[in-house]
Structure 1
């Protein structure tokens, strides 16, 4: 099978996006988050993971 010609470009865009996101912002849990997990088939937050993005 063939791969998309733009695949590597898309990977570079994603890396650049996250670099700028994390360089200029802080990611934190919402203050009233209660941790409950579903353990099967893999551990994951029961009702999602509410995050806040705060500009530095």
Structure 2
């Protein structure tokens, strides 16, 4: 993996990159830089995180 990880793909074609993550599963780890980032691709999980179980997740941590 290059030094910037997935950062180049995100910068050059963000819509294509994030759309392609759907095929990898409902929760995908990417490496846009030095730290990993998790992307939630399933709508039901996004709702659960933002609405149903919002108190279980830290913001800005």
TM-score (norm 2): 0.26
Q: Which has the higher strand share?
A: 1
- Higher relative contact order (Cα pairs below 8 Å, separated by 6+ residues): 1
TM-score (norm 1): 0.27
Instruction: Work out which of the two has the higher radius of gyration on C-alpha atoms and give 1 or 2.
Output: 1
Q: Which has the higher helix share?
A: 2
